Structure 1
């Protein structure tokens, strides 16, 4: 009887990756960016906590945007709101230019150390695609900083909703099918460091892999991932083993 690893190796044709926090190191990268800024502002709190509050506020606001269903708000715009709210929370006086600069740092984020080598190993067997909540232009600006030639970058703007709305995964599938007609839904694996994203993709009908970098339980969702791996090195070793 074949193992799940063997089945995935045999049937998979494309891997679709979340970007922020899965491919690029959002927490560490943004913490490095905000630390000198917060020091100039004489804020004596923990810069990593500032970034955590920023990311949580952004996530909550993007989920609210999807639930209201009154038109998609750009990722950058929600980012501006989130950063402004956290600055107010911290009692930091700021200008809109400073908010814009902080949000722009998202476009400069670098991959986790294990990512590029793993992607080079995976690309020998699969099409590699990004599906991100980021705006189209943000993804385009991020390309040189990611440093890997993904086969396709897809923004949720194509669907008009943020992940994990089913329409985002459906839009990605449609784009992939248009470019590579031989790739069916069962041949697509979605890869993310976030349980909510894996749940959304699995609910749509993709297979999924959870990158458990933070060593946190996935939870009791009925939409469990097909695989749980510790990092990208384990992902590549599992899906594209080298002889």
Structure 2
């Protein structure tokens, strides 16, 4: 763990993952999926359905990144993954139904403590988002999360998904800041590992109380919520 005073003196930008860190992706998508799944007569747990969806999406996005071909849109990966999960679960579906489910990502709300905590952090640091989401999806999300970020950056500009090193380097360049002046904040271990390996300081928001694997790229801070991060840094 890095000394708090050292982080405060070196960091000028707090950069956040959006889906699952700023906004409640699991809860919001489970709520959106529940009505749809009931109407389909599927007796399973909507939360489990969304977990399958998100894991499949992550796997497919990593396949796309490793192919090193033209970057596939986040929305397209999402629709591919939802169809894949519904096929596995035996749920009949149309293209429009798949599109509507994936579009729910654009309407996700913040975790309850996030607006106040980020408001405190913004008195000291520039705040930015670096997201795997498509630029138009991130733009449509702004009225729903309501956070006045100084910059919202899509990995589409780097032609790769996080945790590819190019995504973090591109975001730092856009902000005109050195990598080691950025504190990257995520609820996802893979994102913290990627940002740290690229040269950023990192914070792991451990909302799910999961141990961080013994990577050589450990987070500088592990906190239980965004409120705890603001208490330490703001």
TM-score class, shorter-chain normalisation, is over 0.9
1:146 & 1:133 partners in 2: Cα distance?
17
- Tell me the alpha carbon deviations over residues 127-147 of structure 1, each in whole angstroms, 9 at most, x when there is no partner: 000000000000000011011
C-alpha displacement at 1:196, in angstroms?
A: 0.5
1:44 and 1:116 map into 2 onto residues whose CA distance is 35
Contact in 1 for aligned 2:62/2:161 (Cα 8 Å): yes
Q: Does residue 221 in structure 1 map to residue 215 in structure 2?
A: yes
Which residue in 2 is equivalent to 1:200? 194
Give the paired residue count: 233
- Aligned mates of 2:180, 2:72 — CA distance in 1: 31
Q: List structure 1 segments (4+ residues) > 4 angstroms apart after TM superposition.
A: none
TM-score in terms of structure 2 length: 0.98
Give, in whole Å, the separation in 2 of the partners of 1:76 and 1:108.
14
Q: Secondary structure of the residue that 2:109 maps to in structure 1?
A: coil
TM-score norm. by structure 1 comes to 0.95
Q: C-alpha root-mean-square deviation of aligned residues, in Å?
A: 0.8
SS state at 2:87 partner = helix
Paired residues of 2:75 and 2:134 also in contact (CA < 8 A): yes
- Does the Cα contact within 8 Å between 2:169 and 2:179 map onto a contact in 1? no
Match of 2:100 in 1: 101
CA distance, structure 2, for counterparts of residue 68 and residue 62 of structure 1: 10
1:144 corresponding residue in structure 2? 143
Q: Please state whether the residue corresponding to 2:183 is helix, strand or coil.
A: strand
- The C-alpha deviation readout for 1:42-92, integer Å capped at 9, x for no partner, is 000000000000000000000000111111100000000000011111111
Q: Quote the residue 2:120 is aligned against.
A: 121
